[in-house]
Chain A
């Protein structure tokens, strides 16, 4: 599988979750695990450009696919991706645990809907839980992302 543009070896253990493979075999600990049953969205990564829960997939299922994690957005100290920058500007994170999942969901959303309606924004972030922000700042960050991506 290709992860953040780099070919990576197959997982050593067939039952390993993609989330565990990313975190504990490849050291990509930006993908977080909040519930391991597909509700919180902390583990969201892009699979061929679309947001998926990496805790609901086995790593072997990602063979032959492109996986993008939060570490893949602004590599090697490059300036923050516009979505990351927008989250910073809008104070759309507090503890930061859900943040990578939200960022990946929003990147996926804006790839599909570059000019989302308010409804599309609401639905685009409605698969991720945040316990800190109350979401208002995250909504603002999505709107700001659209501006920054122009």
Chain B
């Protein structure tokens, strides 16, 4: 294949409409829609004794108020997406709570009115009486079973899982050195700038439901709604229009509104819209990262890890709609790029009276990386060795791939690294980092990570050459800013020999492509990208066949270039793709160039009927790509920081990234993904903290107190790449969406420990936390 577009810094095709203010986000869709407001529980744990909606219903402008009792699916548990045999006590919430609420923010009633202003006023008139029940909010309290989140779940343990590779006890027993460590990582929040939103319309005439949803998985939403409402899937359309950032929580489904808004539209015969406000986003949208790790490591005099045991608690939140994916990923990713011959990991996924958890960019990995990297620093410190040297001695070497870690992976396979060059990442990062700046309280931090990306099961794509010669392509998974329309146009343009501007990609619209899984797990480029490649190649082969008949040439002698199918070496002998598209349809097009070539009165190029056995009309194809396993990206981040010993203000003096995601489709887009990921990581490491109090109230549910970094907090990031192509997929690509965020906590923690000399074993940090740690130290 040609590589004209693949690898080039092509500027984004998405930008024009977004820059002009002509983007189309879910809340931008109006069409006279009714608007909604939730009544949510103010308690983290309480029994509902009564709900009175009469005053709200009576308010002028209110169209409907729903409680669980009003819904045909009011008694249905929301889906548990990814069941697992170890998840013996899985629990999901109901659309609207009627009995017990288990986190502050859990939905209780739903008000639909002529405007959001009226809906919010009416929501305040809904009278709900609660009897508070004792709360468990920290994972430690949950594991101690101070109180139960679900009466019928003993010990608050939703699941427990134990895995062991090698013989950890024996290896620990013969280790010259052993160390026990405890690490604590708190919850974080993805906080996309656009909150969640759903808009729905029911057409009685067509018996058809149309839903716009700020989701990362419109195909799954469609499937679920079809089943719930007893409609054939052909009568349910779900579109993720422009989505204002996702970062994980929008892959969760179903949130209550994703059922209530379509249901209301069907009941009321009006279009209905719900748009979340920022405060409710803080409690109603899934979070993650809360874990507590108890580690024991055995190592030799050179700092080589001989055995690693980790027993961790995962804060699952009040329900387990997303199964065990997060702790399974953590357990699988703790060894990272290091050879750990004897590894044992046990986790308990515990219920707490907090918002449920599901993946947030990094998804189980930042905590895993923090545990491993902090452990290596502790080994270096104990032995008086250089931290870098300890890492170097433990790294998996380039000749050891494929490398089987031996523990479970999120796709049901085991963790097997396909390719990489970890020592090269380290060498390059150190070179970029350069010498340590002078001055007091300056510290260096470094972390190396791997990321299983491109998880299955599959994605698909449809590619069609129109009679205009333009190309349209579609896939089921939506974009939340990752430039899908640009990078997939690059992939398709290469196969079809056309300009990237002539390829228009639609993603996340079930009307255009009804099958697929979703945008998560850094999988878009790997799964949908390769599906685009497969489908485009099928179209190219078809174009060659049709053109070969027309030109009386051998298809093997043809190539697609410059918008034509032409004879290699004789660029003058060819036929434009537009004409091939016409030729592909024995029923002639009324408009469009090249129709004279497709007339039945033209000389026949071959005997038999125009459409022969096995042939299909149209210059189009649908292709799928299903990965045999995850492909493993990797990287090394390193930084110098300075910490003010009086104010504990953090200054990041230098931050470097060396990244390997296999073959790079678009370096401009990749750079943006990494820069953004690192910024999100810095936020999570030092500025953003979800401050739950002991009653389970989130005390800082606003951007005034949950401090997402502004530009003033984020330093320039220096980035370099190496490319170890993935042997698992045709394009050789690996995912990159989450990479930037994964090692940042480990890097910042390590650098601050180096700068201040206080042990850092928890995330997030803050000036106040550093002050407290320093005081303890003195």
Could you tell me if A97 and B671 are in contact, using CB atoms closer than 8 angstroms? no
Q: How large is the interface on A (under 10, 10 to 19, 20 to 34, 35 or more residues)?
A: 35 or more
Stretch at the interface among B22-30, B159-167, B529-537: B22-30
Q: Is B245 an interface residue (CB 8 A)?
A: yes
Could you tell me if A139 and B704 are in contact, using CB atoms closer than 8 angstroms? no
We find that the number of chain B residues with CB closer than 8 angstroms to chain A is 56
Q: Is A130 an interface residue (CB 8 A)?
A: yes
Q: Given the complex of chains A and B, what is the CA–CA distance between A44 and B704 in angstroms?
A: 17
B417 contact set on A, CB distance < 8 A: none
Residue of B nearest to A77 (CB): B20
Q: Report A135 CB to chain B, min CB distance, Å.
A: 4
Q: Given the complex of chains A and B, what is the CA–CA distance between A94 and B15 in angstroms?
A: 8
| Chain A, 104-132, CB within 8 A of any chain B CB | 122-123, 125-132
Residue of A nearest to B21 (CB): A30
Q: Is B389 an interface residue (CB 8 A)?
A: no
Q: Given the complex of chains A and B, what is the CA–CA distance between A103 and B242 in angstroms?
A: 18
Q: Report A24 CB to chain B, min CB distance, Å.
A: 6
Could you tell me if A84 and B19 are in contact, using CB atoms closer than 8 angstroms? yes
Could you tell me if B702 and A133 are in contact, using CB atoms closer than 8 angstroms? no
Stretch at the interface among B86-94, B540-548, B585-593, B709-717: B709-717
Q: Is B680 an interface residue (CB 8 A)?
A: yes
Q: Report B278 CB to chain A, min CB distance, Å.
A: 4
Residue of A nearest to B712 (CB): A126
Q: Is B194 an interface residue (CB 8 A)?
A: yes
Q: Given the complex of chains A and B, what is the CA–CA distance between A94 and B486 in angstroms?
A: 12
Residue of B nearest to A96 (CB): B18
Q: Is A6 an interface residue (CB 8 A)?
A: no
Provided the pairs A122-B712, A133-B675, A134-B717 are in contact, do residues A30 and B245 lie with their beta carbons within 8 angstroms?
A: no
A36 contact set on B, CB distance < 8 A: 277-278
Q: Given the complex of chains A and B, what is the CA–CA distance between A46 and B15 in angstroms?
A: 22
Provided the pairs A84-B19, A122-B711, A138-B711 are in contact, do residues A40 and B244 lie with their beta carbons within 8 angstroms?
A: no
Q: Report B609 CB to chain A, min CB distance, Å.
A: 47
Residue of B nearest to A128 (CB): B710
Stretch at the interface among B302-310, B476-484, B566-574: B476-484
Could you tell me if A80 and B19 are in contact, using CB atoms closer than 8 angstroms? yes
Could you tell me if B21 and A28 are in contact, using CB atoms closer than 8 angstroms? yes
Provided the pairs A133-B672, A139-B711 are in contact, do residues A95 and B194 lie with their beta carbons within 8 angstroms?
A: yes
A127 contact set on B, CB distance < 8 A: 710
Q: Given the complex of chains A and B, what is the CA–CA distance between A36 and B268 in angstroms?
A: 29
Q: Given the complex of chains A and B, what is the CA–CA distance between A87 and B261 in angstroms?
A: 36
Q: Given the complex of chains A and B, what is the CA–CA distance between A20 and B28 in angstroms?
A: 11
B22 contact set on A, CB distance < 8 A: 30, 71
Q: Is B703 an interface residue (CB 8 A)?
A: yes
Q: Is B678 an interface residue (CB 8 A)?
A: yes
B15 contact set on A, CB distance < 8 A: 87-88, 93, 96
Could you tell me if A93 and B18 are in contact, using CB atoms closer than 8 angstroms? yes
Provided the pairs A71-B20, A91-B12, A91-B668 are in contact, do residues A97 and B704 lie with their beta carbons within 8 angstroms?
A: no
Could you tell me if A129 and B708 are in contact, using CB atoms closer than 8 angstroms? yes
A80 contact set on B, CB distance < 8 A: 16, 19-20
Q: Is A89 an interface residue (CB 8 A)?
A: yes
| Residue in B480, B669, B677, B740 whose CB lies within 8 Å of A95 | B480
Q: List 13 A-B contacts (CB under 8 A).
A: A32-B194, A34-B244, A37-B702, A71-B21, A88-B19, A93-B19, A97-B244, A129-B703, A133-B675, A134-B678, A134-B680, A136-B716, A137-B671
Instruction: Give me 4 other A-B pairs in contact (C-beta within 8 A), A37-B703, A131-B676 excluded.
Output: A93-B481, A95-B480, A134-B717, A137-B671
